[in-house]
Structure 1
Amino acid sequence: MKLLLAGSALALLPFTTSAPALAQDETEKPATAGNIQTDVIVVTAARFGTIATDTLDTPEQVALPADTAALAARTPGGALVGNGGLSGQLAYRGLFGERVTGKVNGQRFATGGPNAMDPPLHYAPSILLERIEIARGVAPVSSGPGLAGAVNAVLLQQPFAQTSGTDASARFMAQYRSVDDSYAVGGLAGIANEHWRLGVIGSREQGEDYRFPGGTATGTSFERNLYGVQAGYRAAGGEFFLEYRRSETDPSGNPPFALDIVYFDTDFLQTGFKGELAKEVTLDVRLGHVAVRHLMDNQTLRQPAAPAASARATFADADSFTGEASLRFGSSNRHVRIGGDFELADKFVRITNPFNAGFFLDAQSNLAAERFGAFAELRSAMGAVEFELGGRIDHTSQDSGVPQLGSAVPMGPRMLANAFAASAREASDTSFDLVLRGWMPGEMITPRVTLARKVRVPSTLERFAWLPTEASYGLADGNIYVGNPALKPEVAYIAEAGFDLSAGALTFRPTLFYRRVDDYIQGTPFDATPGVVDSTVEMVSAMNGDPTPLMFRNVDAELFGVDLDFRAELGADLAIDGTASWVRGKRRDVDDNLYRVAPPNLRLAAIWSPGRWSLGAELQAAADQAKVSAANGESPSDGYVVLGLSGSFDLSERISLSAGVENLFDEYYQPHLSGLNRVADSDVALGERLPGAGRGVWMRISAGF
C-alpha cells in the first residue's frame, strides 16, 4: 500500500495511510490508496510540484538526519544499523546488508567501500529526498533479485508543467541541528512546460562530532556535497529522461571501522523511456552507469592517528553498468509484464601504507560480477481475490584477478596471495525467484497473503576475500573475516499474512511473517580450534590483532515476527500514529540466535494542527535484546525510551518554519544495531556500542516558488 506523509521536510508521524486499493502505475491517477505492495514515505519539503496547484499541507516534523537510512528505518519492520554519520544501513525484518536491495532514483549499483561505508542510501541526502519507497515484505520479481525487501530513495524531481507555457520553479530547504552543530542546505530549481523539463539539483551538508549524555562521540563528523542536472521530454506516447549527479563525500568519521572516509567521488548517469507503444502496450527501458572512487585511512580523522608502521590508506574503485527493459500488455490492474535486466560490476581494492611505498596489496583484485536476468509477472483476479504472480531467472558469473603485492609485504600475506592465485577464482550460479501475492479488497478490511521463494547469490567479497580483514559489508563488529569460494546461494522460503483496515478515522495494518533461509551466509570460526594459531589465515589475522578470524559459511536460519502501523484521527485537529516491530532470528543448524537482530521496538507520535501552526511529540522505544548470538560473541543491550517535541508555523503557502527538541530528557541509550567504537580519544569507551545522540534543538525552513 502506498503511504503518504505529505507536508514538511519529514513528517513527524511515521505513516499516513489511505484506504486499500489495487496496484497501479505511478503515472496514473490513484484510485483510493495506491499500491498494496509498496510503502512510500514522503519526506519532501512540500509537494509543491507546480506551484499553482499544489498546497503546503500541515507540517508533521522531526529533525532530518544526514543519514537517509535513519528515515527508511521508520518503516514497520525497520531498524537502523548505525555505522557513522553517513554510512548507516536499513535492517528490514532482521535482514540487512546486500540482502536488502537498495536503489536511488530507481538505479541499482555496486557500492565502492569494501566495508560498505557507502551503502546505497549514502547517495541520497535527506535534505533532497522526495520520497522513500519500500517494498512491503517481499519485493516483486520485476525489481530484481534480493532476499529481503527493497528500498528506493527518490530525490527531488522537476515535474512537467500543466500548460504549454514555460514555468520556472524552485524548492529550497535548510536545517540546523545543535547536537552535532550540523547544517544542511539543498534544493531544486528548474523550468518546464507540458513537453519538456530541465532541473538542477544540489545540496551541502556538514556536521561535527555529536554529543551524548556524558561526552562527545569523537570521529563522527561528516561532510558531503551533491549536485546534478535532470531533463525529460514528453511526447504523446511517453517520456524520455536523462539525469546526471555527482556526489562528493569529504572526510567523514566511521568510529565502528578501522578506517575513516577521506573521500567518495561518485558519478551517476541514467537514461530511459517509459510510455505506450500502442493501446495497452507499455514499454519501460532504463540504462545506467555508476563510477565510485574512494579513499579511506586512519590518519586524516582518526584520533589518535595510527603510528607509521600501522598506518593504512585504502583505495577502492567500483564501476556498475545496468540495464532493464519490460513490456506490459494490458491495463494497470490486468496485465502480463515480461522483461529482462543486467548488472555488470567491477571492483578493485588496494591497501597501502602512506609512509612506505613498498607496502601495498590488492585485497580485492579486479573483482567482476555479471548478472543477466529475465522475469514475467501476471496481474489478474479470481473472483473477488486479486493476485500477482511473478517468476524470474538470473545467471550470475563472478571472478577475481591475481592480487599484486609490494616488496614490503610480509611472508604471511604473500603465502595467502599465492594460494589464492593458484585457485580457480571464479564461480557461477543460476537462481530462480517466485512470488505470489494475493489480496481481497473490501470496503473496510483487505486481507492479504504472500508466498515467495527468493535467492541471494554470495557477493564477490564473501567468496573472494583472500586476505583476512574487517571487510564484512558493514557488520562493524571488530571481527576479521575471510572469504569462502565454496559458498552456495541463500534460498529463502517466505510466508506473510495480514490485513489493511481502513475505518473512517482509523487505519491499522498488521503483518505476520516467516522466513526460512537455507544456506544463510554468516561468519563462523575459521577452523575447529578457535584461538589456536595453526594456519596461515590465523597467523595473518593475529598479526592484525584478532587470533580468532571468521570465515563466511553457509548455515541454516529462520526469522519470524510481526510488525504493524496505524493512524487514528481524533477529531479535526489531532492525530496519533505509530509503528511496532518484533522479529526473532534463530539458527536452525545449531542452538543459537541469529546474529545482530533488532529488539522489539515501538514508535508513537501525536500532532495537533489547528491551523497554520502545529505542535507534535514522538516517542521511540526499544526493549532489551537478550536473544544474541553466542557463536559470534554478541553482547546484549538494554532497552530505552526517547521523547522528542516539535512545532511548525506556515509563514505563507510557500514558506514554512519548523523547530524541535530531540531527546528531550537527555536519555543515554545504545541502539542494539549500532557499531562498536574503534576511536581511542573519545568519550565512548573502546569496544562499546555507539550511543544515541543527546538532547539538542533543531530548526528548519522550507520554501517553494
Structure 2
Amino acid sequence: MHYKSKGHRALLACCLASVAMPALAQERAPDEPDAILNDTIIVTASRTDAASDDRLAPPEQIALPADAASIAARAPGGALVGNGALSGQLSYRGLAGQRVLGRVNGQRFASGGPNAMDPPLHYAPSVLVDRIEIARGVAPVSQGPSLAGAVNAQLVETEFSSGNAMDAQVRLAAQYRSVDDSYAVGGLAGLANEQWRLGVIAAREEGSDYEYPEGTVLGTGFERSLYGIHAGFQTGPGEIFAEYRRSETDPTGTPPFALDIVFFDTDFVRGGFRGEIGKDVRLDLQLGHVAVRHRMDNQTIRQPAAPPMRARATNAEADTNTAEAKLRFGTARKHFELGADIENIDKFVTITNPFNDGFFIDAQPNVRSERWGAFAQWRGGIQGIEFELGGRVDHTRQDAGVPQVGAAVPMAPQMLAAGFASADRARSATTVDAVMRAWAPMGDLVPRVTLARKERVPSLLERFGWLPTEASFGLADGNIYVGNLELAPETAWIAELGFDFEGDAYSLRPTVFYRRVDDYIQGIPVDATVGIVDSPIEMIAAMNGDPTPLRFDNVDAELWGADVDFMVRPLSRLELSGTASYVRGKRRDIDDNLYRVAPANLRLSAAWLGDRFSAGAELIAAAGQDEVARFNEETQSNDYAVVGLFARYEVGTGIALEAGVENLFDELYAPHLAGRNRSAASDVEVGDRLPGAGRGGWVRFSAAF
C-alpha cells in the first residue's frame, strides 16, 4: 500500500472553514504550582461545582477513542504508538513504553501481556476517564521512579457533598462511531454527604474492524467491560477510602502482534488514608493489589488462523502489590515531604500449542521484581523564585525461576532453557533520582527551568527473556528479541527551559529540552556474525522467520527538541489554539538515529463558541519521518494532514449532544509510530503500517447531575 500526502488540500480546506474546535482550550492560573508542573486533559463532563485548576478542555473535536492513550497523546510532546484499538502507548518527547510512568487512579502496576497488549491506559475506558494528568517533562520523585514523564488516568468517582443529607450524583456518557461501527456507554452513580461517599462505575465498549480509504483493516474489532465500586469515609480533615474494579477485555484484535487478545481479566484493589493529622501535617497511606490474567492466540480472531503446527496460545499472569506512605509538613505551596514505597511484581508466561499437549515453554518462568524506595522533596520559594527540589533512592532485586519445556519442543529451545536454568538468575541494582524544577511568577509571564537525573532498571522482559520471541513491550516491529542478564540501568541527564505567557485571551507555553541517556536499552545483533545462523538463538529465530534476531543491550543516546501549546481569542467568540512538537533522537555510540521517534507534528484548531452551540474544525498534521534508525532497518514515513469537523449543543445544564466528522477528506495516511500489520486476510498488506481511520461520522451524549 502506498501513502501519498494530500496535506496541502486539507490545509487549504481547514483555512477556508474559518471555524474549529480548540485542540487544547485552557483555563490557567500561572501562580498555581500545578499549572506550571502538570498538564491535565478533562475527558468527561464535569459537575458544575468541580474545582477549577490547570485543566485542558475535553477533546470535544474528536470521537472519544476507546484507547485513552490516544487522548493523552494530544498533549504537547505526545504521540501515539498505535498497536490496536486497546493497546496503544504514549510516546512522550521521544520516549515510550516503560520509560513513561503510567498509572490509573494513581496506582502503579505491571502489564500482564508479555508484549504490552495491556499498557496502563488499557484499563482506562475513555467514557469513564474524568481527567488525564501528565507531569510536564519530568515526573517528580514523589511519584516513583521513571525515566521520562508520567501519565495518570483518573476515573470518575463520587465526591463528598455538604450537609448531612445524602445527595445523588450521576454521570453518563454514550457514543457511536461509524468508521468502526462501535459504541461505548458508561457512567457513574453515587450517593454522598459531608461524611460518606459511595459510588459504582460501569462501562461497555464494542467495535468492529475499522474502515480506511482503501478497504477494511481486518482483525481490529474490540470488546471491553469495566465495573467497580468505591467508597470513602471522611473523619475530621482526613479520609479513609477503598475501591475495587474489574476489567474484562474480550476477544480483541491486535494486528501488529503475532497473536490477538483472547481475554484480559484484571482485578484492581486499592485503599488507604489521606488527610491532615495535625496543623499543616498531611499523611497519605495507600495499599494496592492488581492481578492480571491473560490469554492470547492466533486462532480466535487472526485471519487466516495459523495451521496446527504453528498454532500458538500464550497464557500469562501478573500480580503487583504496592504500598506507599507520604508525610508532608507545610501547605500545598510550601512544604517538605518524606515518603517511602514498595512495589513487588510476579509474572509468569507460558507458550503452548492448543493442538499439542506436549508443546509448552515457560518463556517467563516466575520472574519477579522487588523494589524498595524512599524520597525527600521540598517545595518553596526564595525571593520570588519557586522551587521543587527532590531526591529518591530505589533498590530493586530481580530474579527468575527455572523454565519448564515440553517434550514436543525442538532441541534448540531446550538447550537455551537448560543454559538459562544453570545461569545466575538474580540481579540487583540501586538507582538514584534527583529533580529540580524552578519557576518565577512575573504576572502573565512565568519563566521555568528543569534539571534532573533519572534512572530506570531494566524490565523483567529485557532482563530475563531467555527465549527468542517477538515480545518487545509493544515495539511490534516484527523483529525477534532475546533478553540480557547483564543489562545496566538507564541513566538520563535532563535539562528543560521554557516559559508560560498567559492572559485572559491568549496563552503561549513553549519548552525546549535535552536528554542525554547513558546505557539506553535497545535491540542490537546477538553476535558479530549477523545473518550467519551459528547459535541456538539464531536457529530458533530463523525457524520463526527472522535470521537476524536482536538482543537487548546498553547503548548511548540523546534526544532534544521543542514543543508548545498556544491559544488566542481574537474575538470573544472565536478561539484559535493548538500544539506543535518536534523531537530528534540519535545514538551517541554510533552514527545513527534512535529507533521509533515520532516526526514533527501539529494540531491546529479554531472554534466559534456560542452560549449553547459551538462548532468548528481541527487540522492534525505530521511531517514525514526520514531520520530513521538504519541499524534497526526502520523505514521512512510520509507526511499527512487530516481535517475533522465538530458541533456541540448544550441541551441543558450538564447535558450535551455532540457530533462530528473525522477525516473529512478521506485522507490515506499511516502515522510513523503505528504498528505493522500481521493479518494476511486484511486489505492492508502484511508489513505495512496500520493506516489511520477513514472518513466517518460520530455522535455523543453526555450528562452530569
Shorter-chain TM-score range? over 0.9
SS in 2 for 1:672: coil
Alignment of 1:384-463 (within 5 A): 384-463=384-463
Q: Residue by residue, what CA displacement relative to the aligned partner does 1:258-297 show, whole Å, maximum 9, x if unpaired?
A: 0000000000000011111110110011110000000000
Structure 1 counterpart of 2:7 = none
1:403/1:421 contact within 8 Å kept: yes
4+ runs of 1 displaced by more than 6 Å?
A: none
Q: Distance in 2 between matches of 1:387 and 1:658?
A: 42
Shift of the alpha carbon at 1:49?
A: 5.8
On the 8 A contact 1:50/1:159 being kept in 2, the answer is: no
Query: Is structure 2 residue 305 aligned with structure 1 residue 314?
Result: no
Q: Could you tell me how far apart the structure 2 residues matched to 1:333 and 1:658 are?
A: 38
Shift of 1:20: 4.3
Residues 370 and 64 of structure 1: is their aligned pair in 2 closer, same or farther, counting only changes over 3 Å?
Answer: same
Contact conserved, 2:41 with 2:58, CA < 8 A, in 1?
no
1:585 alignment partner AA: G
Residues in 2 aligned to 1:219 and 1:374: alpha-carbon distance in whole angstroms: 45
* Residue 294 (structure 2) pairs with residue 285 (structure 1): no
* 2:16 aligned partner: none
Q: Secondary structure at the match of 2:652?
A: coil
String of CA shifts for 1:663-684, please: whole Å, max 9, x gaps.
0000000100000100000000
Cα-to-partner distance string for 1:296-351 (whole Å, 9 max, x where unaligned): 00000000000000000000000000011110011112111000001000000000
Alpha-carbon contact 1:322-1:344 (below 8 Å) kept: yes
Question: Which residue of structure 2 lines up, in the alignment, with residue 382 of structure 1?
Answer: 382
> In 1, distance between residues paired with 2:443 and 2:198?
42
The aligned residue for residue 353 of structure 1 is 353
Counterpart residue number, 2:533: 533
- Partner of residue 150, structure 1: 150
Q: Is the 8 Å Cα contact of residues 20 and 500 (structure 1) preserved in structure 2?
A: no
Q: Secondary structure at 2:469's aligned position in 1?
A: coil
Displacement after TM superposition at 1:15 (Å): 2.1
Specify the code of the residue in structure 1 equivalent to 2:119: P
Distance of aligned partners of 1:20 and 1:50 in 2 relative to their CA distance in 1, 3 Å threshold: closer
| Range that drifts further, 378-387 or 593-602 | 378-387
Superposed, 1:220-239 pairs within 5 Å as 220-239=220-239
Distance 1:436 1:16 in 2: 28
Which deviations, in whole Å up to 9, do the C-alpha atoms of 1:523-566 show, x marking residues without a partner?
Answer: 01111111100001100111111111000000000000000001
How far apart, in 2, do the equivalents of 1:359 and 1:58 lie? 49
1:105-144 equivalences in 2 (<5 Å): 105-144=105-144
User: Partner amino acid for 1:86?
Assistant: L
| SS of aligned partner of 1:70 | helix
Contact 2:23 2:61 in 1 (8 A): no
Q: CA deviation at 1:654?
A: 3.0
Q: Distance in 1 between matches of 2:549 and 2:404?
A: 23
Residues of 2 paired with 1:644 and 1:232: CA distance? 41
Alignment of structure 1 residues 293-304 onto 2, 5 Å: 293-304=293-304
Structure 2 counterpart of 1:15, one-letter code: L
Kindly provide the amino acid, as one letter, of the partner of residue 81 in structure 2.
V
Which position in structure 1 is the counterpart of 2:598? 598
Relative distance call for 1:178 and 1:350 in structure 2 (3 A) is same
Q: Distance in 2 between matches of 1:465 and 1:306?
A: 24
Amino acid at match of 2:676: L
Matched, 1:17 2:56: no
Contact 2:266 2:290 in 1 (8 A): yes
Q: What CA distance in whole angstroms lies between the structure 1 residues aligned with 2:106 and 2:507?
A: 29
Contact 1:18/1:502 (8 A) holds in 2: no
Partner of 1:342: 342
Q: What code does the residue aligned with 1:646 have?
A: F
| Counterpart-to-counterpart distance in 2, 1:138 and 1:156 | 26
Amino acid at match of 1:200: V
Q: Report the Cα offset of residue 22 of structure 1.
A: 4.4
Q: What CA deviation, in whole Å up to 9, does each residue of 1:557-576 have, x standing for no partner?
A: 00000000011122221111
**1:49-68 maps to which residues of 2 (within 5 A)?**
60-68=60-68
Q: For residue 36 of structure 1, give the secondary structure of its aligned residue in structure 2.
A: helix
- Name which structure has the greater RCO, CA cutoff 8 Å, separation 6+: 2
Deviation at 1:94, TM superposition (A): 0.2
Secondary structure, counterpart of 2:35 in structure 1: coil
- Counterparts of 1:247 and 1:236, CA distance in 2: 34
* 3-state secondary structure, aligned to 1:570: strand
The CA deviation at 1:19 is 4.2
Structure 1 CA distance for aligned equivalents of residues 44 and 170 of structure 2: 13
Does 1:511 find its partner at 2:511? yes
The answer for the alignment partner of 1:179 in structure 2 is 179
The aligned counterpart of 1:96 is 96
Q: Alignment length, in residue pairs?
A: 681
Q: Quote the Cα distance in structure 1 between the aligned partners of 2:354 and 2:610.
A: 60
> Are the equivalent residues in 1 in contact too, given 2:662–2:695 (CA < 8 A)?
yes
More displaced stretch, 570-579 vs 89-98? 570-579
- The answer to whether the Cα contact below 8 Å between 1:186 and 1:202 also exists between their aligned partners in 2 is yes
> What's the CA shift string for 1:377-411, capped at 9, x where partnerless?
01122211111110000000000000001111110
Aligned to 1:80: 80
Quote the Cα distance in structure 2 between the aligned partners of 1:339 and 1:438. 21
Aligned partner of 1:554 in structure 2 is 554
TM-score of the two chains, using structure 1 as the length reference: 0.95
Question: Which residue of 2 is the match for residue 69 of structure 1?
Answer: 69
Structure 1 residue 46: Cα displacement: 3.1
Q: CA deviation at 1:50?
A: 7.8
Kept after mapping to 2: 8 A contact 1:82/1:674: yes
1:29 corresponding residue in structure 2: none
The residue type paired with residue 541 of structure 2 is S
Structure 2 unmatched ranges of 5 or more: 1-19, 52-56
Which residue of the partner structure matches residue 661 of structure 2?
A: 661
Contact 2:24 2:59 in 1 (8 A): no
Q: CA-to-partner distance for each residue in 1:215-239, whole Å, 9 max, x for gaps?
A: 1000000000000001011111211
Matched to 1:341, the amino acid is D
Match of 1:675 in 2: 675
Query: Does the CA contact (< 8 Å) of 2:61 and 2:645 recur in 1?
Result: no
Shift of 1:636: 0.2
Q: Is the 8 A contact 1:439 1:446 kept in 2?
A: yes
Distance 1:476 1:48 in 2: 43
Whole-angstrom distance in 1 between the partners of 2:28 and 2:357: 64
Would you say the 8 A contact 1:12–1:62 is kept in 2? no
Kept after mapping to 1: 8 A contact 2:488/2:519: yes
Q: Contact between 2:47 and 2:654, CA under 8 Å: does it hold in 1?
A: no
| Cα distance change, pair 59–477 in 1 and its aligned pair in 2 (3 A) | closer
Q: 1:46 to 1:276 in 2, by over 3 A?
A: closer
Q: How does 1:189-268 map to 2 (within 5 A)?
A: 189-268=189-268
What is the DSSP-based 3-state SS (H/G/I as helix, E as strand, rest coil) of the residue aligned with 2:633? Answer: coil
Name the amino acid aligned to 1:468. Answer: P
The two structures have a TM-score, normalised by structure 2, of 0.95
Matched, 1:636 2:636: yes
Q: Is the CA contact 2:61–2:618 (under 8 Å) kept in the aligned structure 1?
A: no
Alpha-carbon distance in structure 2 between the residues aligned to 1:164 and 1:197: 11
